[in-house]
Amino acid sequence: MTATGPCATPAAVDVVALGESMVTFLPTRPGRLADVPSFDRSIGGAESNVACMLAAAGHSVRWVSRVGDDGFGDHLVETIGSYGVDVTSVRRDPDRPTGVYFRTSGDRATDAHEVAYYRAGSAASAMSPAGIDLPAARAGRVLHLSGITAALSADCLGLLRDLTAPGPGRPLVSFDVNHRSRLWRDDEGAGVLLELARAADLVFVGEDEAEEAWGVTGGPEAVRALLPEPAHLVVKEGARGATLFGGNPGQSPGVFVPALTVDVVATTGAGDAFAAGFLSATLRGLPPRARLRHGHLWAAAALTVPGDLAAPPARDHADRLAALDDTAWGRLRLGPGWTAATERAEEEVRTP
């Protein structure tokens, strides 16, 4: 196993994203996987999605992972690197393959949606404290992780426990719960995710997944009661909006910002885009309300494209929209192509 170009002393970056990325095959037309005759190749991975969007927005970002010493591994490293992400700490595994998956073109929320994962025994499942570039993983202002990694193997779970453990020089740990029940082989997943979330500094969790994983009902305040430890907790409430707890010292109750009206093309990657937008605003030192609004705007960028990845809105465009008063924010409607149509911002604001 060799790295693609490891440094003895890794440079500090804004964000390190650690996790598995896979080659994704998207159908060329709607239908069951059994009926679709051909697929287009793309990439998919919660952490690499965040990395790519942040890098495209001008932040310094490193992706830490493992891929197979194969053509699909080449594709992942080259594609993620093309966004400006530092991929020199990605290790190549000659004995394990790069993970791939196939999915149907329908919305994930429908019963017709199918996903076929081929990731068991993948190179990324062998991530461990000894199996990654650990100094590079810790050399960031923010370390972004997700619950998906914890489900891949015992070694991956051990790595996340190591990275979230208290210690000198630990970066701000951002953790997206990303509960995926089908990835867990037993009933321990919910407890593991709760353990990791309580150890993080910033947590993203959907109200629906908190109910599914932990049985929490009663809204964002009930989630906060279960997770009082993180300094910052973002509870995503679907189409309604999102609530941030702990944006300022002693701040309670949480700050709520309603979601935007969006002409949705596909929902894939929207949660990762929200996290990326929120992290970008956090790195810039913006106040809690603006962080949530940037999360919603970046999610809207992902919702209005067909694939997992979207170009984030230009910073000045997003800042202008995030600064709207509540009435104008509530009237805002965004559709495909809005991130490239900065001159239409005022027209969009007036759209009922």
Candidate list 14, 93, 176, 272, residue with the active-site label? 272
- Range with the poorest average pLDDT among 332-336, 341-345, 347-351: 347-351
Instruction: Estimate the crossing angle of helix 270-283 against helix 46-56, to 10 degrees.
Output: 50
Q: What is the DSSP string of 228-272?
A: -SSSEEEEE-GGGEEEEE-SSTT--S-EEEEPPEE--S--TTHHH
C-alpha–C-alpha distance, residues 95 and 284, integer Å: 41
- Range with the poorest average pLDDT among 17-31, 112-126, 144-158, 249-263: 249-263
Rounded mean pLDDT, 270-276: 97
pLDDT at position 275: 98
Confidence of residue 352 (pLDDT cuts 50, 70, 90): very low
Q: What does the pLDDT look like over 19-34, one tens digit per residue?
A: 999 999 988 888 899 9
- Return the SS3 of 118: strand
Q: What does the pLDDT look like over 61-93, one tens digit per residue?
A: 999 999 999 999 999 999 999 999 999 999 999
User: Is residue 272 annotated as part of the catalytic site, yes or no?
Assistant: yes
Is 50 exceeded by the pLDDT of residue 345? no
End-to-end Cα separation, the chain, in angstroms: 56
C-alpha–C-alpha distance, residues 301 and 297, integer Å: 6
Confidence of residue 248 (pLDDT cuts 50, 70, 90): low
C-alpha–C-alpha distance, residues 269 and 307, integer Å: 8
Percent of the chain with pLDDT over 70: 91
C-alpha–C-alpha distance, residues 71 and 56, integer Å: 24
Q: Tokens in use for 50?
A: 């965040």
Residues 6+ apart with CB under 8 A from 165: 199
The mean of the pLDDT values for the chain is: 91
